[in-house]
Amino acid sequence: MINAYRYPIAIAINYIKQFLNITDQVQVNAKIRNFTLLMMQLSNDPMMINMLADQKTNPPTTYSPFVINSVNKGLSYDQIDIFYVVLACIMTLSDGKPINRTGSEYVRLDSYLKQYIRMINGTKMQLHN
């Protein structure tokens, strides 16, 4: 289940490949769609929800955005909310329209992805103890 945490990072890496027009764009777009579908399925998986909510695995904390701007000023989320904020950004970005790197959804994804990685690392440490 911990590998499920990696889908947002994989999706963001493929968005960057898409922006920079590197590698095979058809393959990149297929990966974005595939990882987005997998993440959407996991968002409803009882095991994933339990892992996010388990206070031993994910000790309660708040995650503020890495970059503060008008879109996310004053916002911070707990470990459950950060997962769904990242998921919502990915779902919006993966709708097939060209992605604007300076658009609010991408900036929000990028900003919260750094905190999401912090949560993943904390979860991995808890699971390995």
pLDDT at 4: 67
Tokens of residue 55, six digits: 């206070």
pLDDT at 117: 85
Q: Does residue 1 surpass a pLDDT of 60?
A: no
Count other Cβ atoms within 10 Å, centred on residue 59. Answer: 12
Please give the average per-residue pLDDT across 60-83, as a whole number: 83
Nearest to 106 by CA among 18, 3, 5: 18
pLDDT at 105: 84
Q: Model-level pTM?
A: 0.79
Residues linked to residue 63 through DSSP beta bridges, in sequence order: 77
